[in-house]
Amino acid sequence: MTPDVVTMDKIVSLCKRRGFVFPSSEIYGGIGSSYDYGHYGVLLKNNVKAQWWRALLQERDDVVALDSAIIQHPRTWEASGHLAGFTDPLVDCRFCKKRFRADKLEDGVCGQKPSKKPGETSDCDLTEARNFNLMFQTTVGPVQDEGATVYLRPETAQGIFLNFKQYLQFARKKPPFGIAQIGKSFRNEITPGNFIFRTREFEQMEMEFFVPPDEAQKWHEHWLAERYDWYIRLGIRRDHLRLRAHEQDELSHYSSATSDVEYLYPIGWQELEGVANRGNFDLTQHAEYSRQNLEYVDTVSGDRYIPHVIEPAAGADRAMLAFLVDAYDEDEIEGEARTVLRLHPQLAPVKAAVLPLVKKDGQPELAREIEHVLRERFQVEYDEGGAIGRRYRRQDEIGTPWAITVDHQSLTDRTVTIRDRDSLAQERVAVDALPGLLEERLRAPWQSPKPGD
């Protein structure tokens, strides 16, 4: 196995070449940091989201689902503190005319050549930092008056708080319980970049877990461990994942404690997911602004309280990027270079490729038959074009864990070979055993064969 060879450029180029993710609006010259997801990108991100739902909804019974509106009542953002406080400090350079985030100058690239960090050259002339609100504003209805100003949500969380009271009733839940949601969020980031790591529209996977106040600490620790394990179970190498507690001066306006799950991207250790203890900040604020009582009342004990909230907040795109980076590998097979995505089989966009060795002698017909049977249970692909080695490599590049080859012998004894993307081992199995075999392999625990642990 080769040492870790991945760079962000290699990921960007593979994603474009194989149609996972590519710049948006290219026929008009593109629009900075806006991306479209192609076929394999959609399949991969869907698998990431499906695993998240699975961990929260199917594997436990104390979390329920929600899909709330993107445009919510504008008072939401007054109550939540976003209108006043969801800002980043912005500085302009009077010399090169570029803009930077004042708190991330070390990540900025100055407009001069050779490029330096903003403020590093004697020509750099940075303004004082001023606060810039990251919410996108728009107008609802035909009249552009103040009453019609609304915002695209910068986080999915608030939709959950607005529905807390309803869920106490129709979900018949009592704390501790959670409401989970996946959806698009929008932030007018000052410096988007690093491919899909930071964009202005992105998908979040957030869950608000409502608990009795004296249990908040315990549940914060529980969710940190759960979320860390989720990435490990899906194959992220342990030495590329860590938990980091926020310093006091990093905490958001609503948070009393936050720890980030960080991944070692090619750009260094960066936040993949935040797990925050939001206290009772949000429900208290919404109770005040809406004049609704958002207390939980225990009908048995008579206890009443505003629950505290533990929030694991992940980005679906950032998670997908971490899985891609962790999976990317290069090696050599019989003197030929190959790029391979060593993705967890559950995440792989395509689970199996069905390949007739030659395009004649009844092999395509049998391969099609196998494809149709497998298609009922898995995402599969049929490919008969080109030399078999090239077809294997095409599948390796999109992370397909198993290639099923129909050959001359298949027609006499209804067996096929199954080739493993990582070990390259080929074994002969009966056609009729294939669905069960693949099911079993998909369910088996999996570890990345890349170096690291």
How many Å apart are CA 147 and CA 165, to the nearest integer?
26
Question: Residues 390 to 419: which contact ligand ATP by CB under 6 A?
Answer: none
Cis peptide before 142 (omega within 30 of 0): no
**Whose structure tokens read 């710049």?**
23
Interacting residue with ligand ATP among 4, 317, 371, 407 (CB under 6 A): 317
Nearer to ligand ATP, 76 or 400 (CB): 76
Nearer to ligand ATP, 162 or 352 (CB): 162
Contact letters (x/-) for ligand ATP, 265-294, by CB under 6 A? ------xxxx--------------------
CA distances for 62 relative to 55, 86, 207, 361, angstroms: 11, 31, 11, 56
Q: Other C-beta atoms within 10 Å of 16: how many? A: 14
Residue nearest to ligand ATP (CB): 315
Nearer to ligand ATP, 224 or 313 (CB): 313
Interacting residue with ligand ATP among 108, 176, 307, 315 (CB under 6 A): 315
**Binding of ligand ATP at residue 383 (CB under 6 A)?**
no
**Binding of ligand ATP at residue 314 (CB under 6 A)?**
yes
Q: Which stretch binds ligand ATP (CB under 6 A): 213-221, 315-323, 340-348, 423-431?
A: 315-323
CB-neighbour burial class of residue 246 (10 A; exposed 0-12, middle 13-18, buried 19+): middle
Q: What are phi and psi of 333, to 5 degrees?
A: -120, 120
Where do the DSSP E strands lie in 114-167?
A: 130-133, 137-139, 149-151
Least separation in angstroms between residue 81's CB and ligand ATP is 13
**Binding of ligand ATP at residue 187 (CB under 6 A)?**
yes
Name all contacts of 35-38 with Cβ < 8 Å and 24+ positions apart. 35/195, 35/196, 35/199
Interacting residue with ligand ATP among 37, 202, 228, 281 (CB under 6 A): 202
Bridge partners of residue 21, in order along the sequence: 37
Sign of the dihedral defined by the CA atoms of residues 68, 74, 75, 77, in that order? positive
**Binding of ligand ATP at residue 107 (CB under 6 A)?**
no
Nearer to ligand ATP, 112 or 255 (CB): 255
Contact residues for ligand ATP (CB under 6 A)? 155, 187, 189, 198-199, 202, 204, 271-274, 313-315, 317-318
